[in-house]
Structure 1
Amino acid sequence: MHRFSKHLLKSSFVPFLPGAILIILLFSLDYVQLQLVEKFLLFAAFIIVPLVIVLLKYDDKNTSQRMIYTAIKRFHFPAALLALASVMSSTMWGWQGIALPGALSLGWLVLTLLLGVYGIMTIIVHKGKIAEWAIGAGLVYFFIGGLWFTLYQYQWTVFQATPATHALSSIHFHFSSAIVPIFIGMLGRIMTKRSWYPWIVVVDIIGPILIAIGMIVSKPLEYIGVALFACNIVIYTTYLLTYLKRNPLYKRASVFLVLSCLAFYTVIVISMFYPLLKRRFALTILDFIPVYGALHAFGFVLCGLVGWVYMASSMDARRGKLAYENR
Structure 2
Amino acid sequence: MSRFLKQRMSTLLMPVIPGAILTIFIFYLDYFQFKLVEKFILFAVFVIVPLVILLLRYDEKNKQQRMVYALMQWLQYPAALLTLFSVMSNKMWGYEGTSIPGMLSLGWLVFTLLLGIYGISIIVIGQGKAAEIAIGAGLVYFFIGGIWFTLYQYQLDLFEASVATHALSSVHFHFSSAIVPIFIGALGRIMTKKSWYPWIVAMDIIGPLLIAFGMIFSKPIEYVGVALFACNIVVYTTYLLSYLRKNVLHPKATFFLGLSCMAFYTVIVLSILYPLLKNIFALTILDFIPIYGALHAFGFVLCGLIGWVYMLDSIQKKNNFQGE
The normalised TM-score by structure 1 is: 0.96
Equivalence for 1:177: 177
Equivalence for 2:216: 216
- Identity value in percent: 68
Equivalence for 2:260: 260
Equivalence for 1:123: 123
Give, in angstroms, the shift of residue 14 of structure 1.
Answer: 2.8
CA contact (8 A) 2:119 2:140 kept: yes
Worse-superposed segment, 245-254 or 33-42: 245-254
Equivalence for 1:232: 232
- Opposite residue 119 of structure 1, the aligned amino acid is G
The reply to whether residue 35 of structure 1 matches residue 30 of structure 2 is no
In 2: Cα distance, 1:313 partner to 1:12 partner: 13
Equivalence for 1:270: 270
Equivalence for 2:25: 25
Give, in angstroms, the shift of residue 293 of structure 1.
Answer: 0.6
Q: Paired residues, what number? A: 324
Change (3 A) 1:70 1:3: closer
Q: Which has the higher contact order (CA 8 A, sep 6+)?
A: 1
Equivalence for 1:192: 192
The reply to whether residue 88 of structure 1 matches residue 75 of structure 2 is no
Equivalence for 1:45: 45
The reply to whether residue 300 of structure 1 matches residue 300 of structure 2 is yes
Equivalence for 2:250: 250
In 1: Cα distance, 2:121 partner to 2:78 partner: 24
Worse-superposed segment, 312-321 or 234-243: 312-321
Equivalence for 2:320: 320
- In structure 2, stretches of 5+ residues that fail to align are none
- In structure 1, stretches of 5+ residues that fail to align are none
The reply to whether residue 108 of structure 1 matches residue 108 of structure 2 is yes
Give, in angstroms, the shift of residue 4 of structure 1.
Answer: 6.5
SS for the counterpart of 1:30 is coil
The normalised TM-score by structure 2 is: 0.97
CA contact (8 A) 2:131 2:189 kept: yes
- Opposite residue 177 of structure 2, the aligned amino acid is S
In 2: Cα distance, 1:209 partner to 1:271 partner: 22
Q: After the TM superposition, list the runs of 4 or more consecutive aligned residues in structure 1 that deviate by more than 4 angstroms.
A: 1-9
Give, in angstroms, the shift of residue 91 of structure 1.
Answer: 1.1
CA contact (8 A) 2:9 2:54 kept: no
- State the Cα deviation string for residues 17-50 of structure 1 (Å, max 9, x = none): 1111111111121211111100000000000000
In 1: Cα distance, 2:130 partner to 2:159 partner: 33
Give, in angstroms, the shift of residue 6 of structure 1.
Answer: 4.9
In 2: Cα distance, 1:78 partner to 1:116 partner: 18
In 1: Cα distance, 2:302 partner to 2:236 partner: 16
CA contact (8 A) 1:8 1:313 kept: no
CA contact (8 A) 2:2 2:320 kept: no
Equivalence for 1:201: 201
Equivalence for 2:149: 149
In 2: Cα distance, 1:47 partner to 1:12 partner: 12
